[in-house]
Amino acid sequence: MTFATLGLIEPLLRSLERLGYQTPTPVQAQAIPAVLAGRDLMAAAQTGTGKTAGFALPLLQLLAMEGPKVTANSVRALILVPTRELAEQVHEAVRQYAENLPLRTYAVYGGVSINPQMMKLRSGVDLLVATPGRLLDLFRQNALKFNQLQTLVLDEADRMLDLGFSEELANIYKALPKKRQTLLFSATFSDDIRLLAGQMLNDPLSIEVSPRNVAANTVKQWIVTVDKKRKPELFVHLMRKGKWKQVLVFAKTRNGVDALVEKLQGLGINADGIHGDKPQATRQRALDRFKASEVQILVATDVAARGLDIEDLPLVVNFDLPIVAEDYIHRIGRTGRAGSTGEAISLVCADEVNLLSAIEMLTRQTLKRQNEPDFEPEHRVPDTDASGQVIKKPKKPKKPKASGGGGGKRNLGKWVDSGEVAPAEPSIKPVRKVPVFNTGPRKRKP
Ligand code: AMP
């Protein structure tokens, strides 16, 4: 199968040739003809599967071939994404695909001045990539009109809900023309996403290119158990031992990112960090330098790193396990992209056993343990498996005390068969409590 047989026009084929895309990926093979035929889409596609081209290519073709010219402050196709970095990345891909087409494309997001964005929108934009908050600001300030809107794309819809954008999405949805094409992409499909899909999509074609919630099988995954306080030391040890060249590291909190970066820099290691507290320009600079291999270790929180596409990233390290198990899939999706192989290593301490168990249950695999000599934890991480069980080692029975009085009952302790498995502890479920389209307060971004 080729891109030409999927019905793409020559200017797009030329762009793809220049980019070196030879064969459509499975999501592209399914999405492109369906979008060209005007269908709504509900696509479960992991990051790294080529989903951006899957929606952007047919969308650009429809914009180039059909519909009236864009008028002042109008937009004909809208791609909503959860983060600024993803907005830049998706727009960059769109720009490359559209280089031979007479279309205007642009990206808007928060954290930067709104005025240049308002100026740019004055003459109208064929395809706009936007984060929900800034899009609404622009709409409320009359810098944007949706009367010409023909297609809406929700990219990484699950993440938008995780970040508490359900209220913004509801408000945007109200402002859009009812007659339009809608494409929804999500790496994982929760009940909330299905509800959102039910409200926004019209007779959608469902596409599922990989089994639901199963992590990319091109990524070799393993864990090292360690005591929490020794994680930085273990990280540096593994880095030196494995001669790691470029690593994306995930930490749970902003403080965690800063602390690790400081520690690494203190050891003369070329590291930088990105998280939601840093200004957009600083985040982008760190990312650009990492992509250009000028930074060796990039430490990030989940939000900052969402959707980043870094070519040939060989290794992802989970310095902390994610609180939301589904984030594990997104994190390791930063490596092993578009067919290449990658490695994902998680440093796991005893506190994180329930998070580990939730990840194993979600990805339906038991992660291989590879213990590091000299770093074996004092606080043992109980065994886990893909069924969600946290397997407690049977306790040694207490020696029965010699009974002093002679007449009382003697407690002989409870002997436990060495194969006996403790009941599963409640594993931490992905927290996605925000009901779709609620009006409650917005969750803080991590
Ligand atoms: P995505 O899942 O959209 O983030 O894409 C992941 C990576 O795969 C990006 O670097 C794309 O440029 C690349 N890519 C997408 N489609 C193809 C293709 N058909 N052939 C080769 N590379 C591709």
Of 43-47, 267-271, 335-339, 427-431, the range with the highest mean pLDDT is 267-271
Per-residue pLDDT, 327: 82
Q: Is 415 a residue whose pLDDT tops 80?
A: no
Per-residue pLDDT, 110: 94
Q: Look up the CATH number of domain 4-208.
A: 3.40.50.300
Q: Which residues line ligand 1 (CB under 6 A)?
A: 21, 23-25, 28, 47-53, 309, 337-338
Which 3 state secondary structure label does DSSP give 270?
Answer: coil
Best mutation site among 2, 3, 19 for ligand 1 pocket (most ligand atoms within 8 Å of CB): 19
Q: Whose CA is closest to atom 21 on ligand 1?
A: 21
Q: Whose CA is closest to atom 20 on ligand 1?
A: 21
Exposed (0-12), middle (13-18) or buried (19+): which is 13, by Cβ within 10 Å? middle
Interacting residues of 409 by C-beta distance below 8 A, sequence separation 6+: none
Best mutation site among 57, 309, 310, 334 for ligand 1 pocket (most ligand atoms within 8 Å of CB): 309
Domain positions in the chain are 4-208, 219-391
Best mutation site among 21, 185, 313 for ligand 1 pocket (most ligand atoms within 8 Å of CB): 21
- What CA–CA distance (Å, rounded) separates 316 from 215? 13
Q: Whose CA is closest to atom 15 on ligand 1?
A: 50
Q: Identify the weakest region by mean pLDDT among 170-184, 244-258, 326-340.
A: 326-340
Rounded distance from Cα 155 to ligand 1 centre (Å): 15
pLDDT band for position 419 (50/70/90)?
very low
Beta strands 125-130; 75-80: pairing state: parallel
Q: Which atom of ligand 1 is nearest to the CA of 307?
A: 4
Owner of token pair 């064929």: 126
Best mutation site among 129, 291, 337, 340 for ligand 1 pocket (most ligand atoms within 8 Å of CB): 337
Q: How far is CA 387 from the centre of its chain?
A: 24
- CATH topology identical between 4-208 and 219-391: yes
Per-residue pLDDT, 178: 93
Rounded distance from Cα 92 to ligand 1 centre (Å): 13
Interacting residues of 288 by C-beta distance below 8 A, sequence separation 6+: none
Write the single-letter amino acid at 250. F
Rounded distance from Cα 47 to ligand 1 centre (Å): 9
- Render pLDDT for 120-142 as a digit per residue (tens, 0 to 9): 999 999 999 999 999 999 999 99
- What CA–CA distance (Å, rounded) separates 297 from 219? 19
- What CA–CA distance (Å, rounded) separates 182 from 195? 15
Q: Is 275 a residue whose pLDDT tops 80?
A: yes
Best mutation site among 52, 85, 186 for ligand 1 pocket (most ligand atoms within 8 Å of CB): 52
- What CA–CA distance (Å, rounded) separates 280 from 134? 14
Per-residue pLDDT, 69: 92
Q: Which atom of ligand 1 is nearest to the CA of 22?
A: 20
Q: Is 406 a residue whose pLDDT tops 80?
A: no
| Sequential DSSP letters for 200-237 | H-SSPEEEESS-TT---TTEEEEEEE--GGGHHHHHHH
Q: Whose CA is closest to atom 1 on ligand 1?
A: 50
Write the single-letter amino acid at 316. V
Q: Whose CA is closest to atom 5 on ligand 1?
A: 50
Rounded distance from Cα 193 to ligand 1 centre (Å): 24
Per-residue pLDDT, 207: 87
Which 3 state secondary structure label does DSSP give 331?
Answer: helix
CB atoms within 10 A of CB 179: 8
pTM above 0.95, yes or no: no
Q: Whose CA is closest to atom 19 on ligand 1?
A: 24
DSSP 275: -
Q: Which residues pair with 271 in a beta bridge?
A: 297
Q: Whose CA is closest to atom 16 on ligand 1?
A: 50
Best mutation site among 25, 46, 91, 209 for ligand 1 pocket (most ligand atoms within 8 Å of CB): 25
DSSP 380: -
Give exposure, 384-420, as e/b (b: 16+ Cβ within 10 Å): bbeebbbbeeeeeeeeeeeeeeeeeeeeeeeeeeeee
Which two structure tokens, joined as six digits, stand for 13?
Answer: 């084929």
Q: Please give the average per-residue pLDDT across 394-411, as a whole number.
A: 43
| Sequential DSSP letters for 13-73 | HHHHHHHT--S--HHHHHHHHHHHTT--EEEE--TTSSHHHHHHHHHHHHHHHSSPPP-TT
Rounded distance from Cα 29 to ligand 1 centre (Å): 13
CB distance 75 to 128 below 8 Å: yes
CB atoms within 10 A of CB 302: 24
Q: Whose CA is closest to atom 14 on ligand 1?
A: 50
Rounded distance from Cα 443 to ligand 1 centre (Å): 32
Q: Please give the average per-residue pLDDT across 157-185, as a whole number.
A: 91
CB distance 152 to 135 below 8 Å: no
**Top-confidence residue, 386 or 101:** 101
Q: What is the mean pLDDT of the chain?
A: 83
DSSP 247: E
Give exposure, 142-172, as e/b (b: 16+ Cβ within 10 Å): ebbbbebbbbbbbbbbbbbbbbbbbbbbbbb
pLDDT band for position 304 (50/70/90)?
low
pLDDT band for position 337 (50/70/90)?
low
Q: Which atom of ligand 1 is nearest to the CA of 49?
A: 2
Rounded distance from Cα 158 to ligand 1 centre (Å): 20
Q: Is 411 a residue whose pLDDT tops 60?
A: no
Per-residue pLDDT, 176: 96
The verdict on domain 219-391 having CATH code 3.30.300.130 is no
pLDDT band for position 405 (50/70/90)?
very low
Rounded distance from Cα 54 to ligand 1 centre (Å): 9
Per-residue pLDDT, 36: 96
Owner of token pair 């003809």: 33
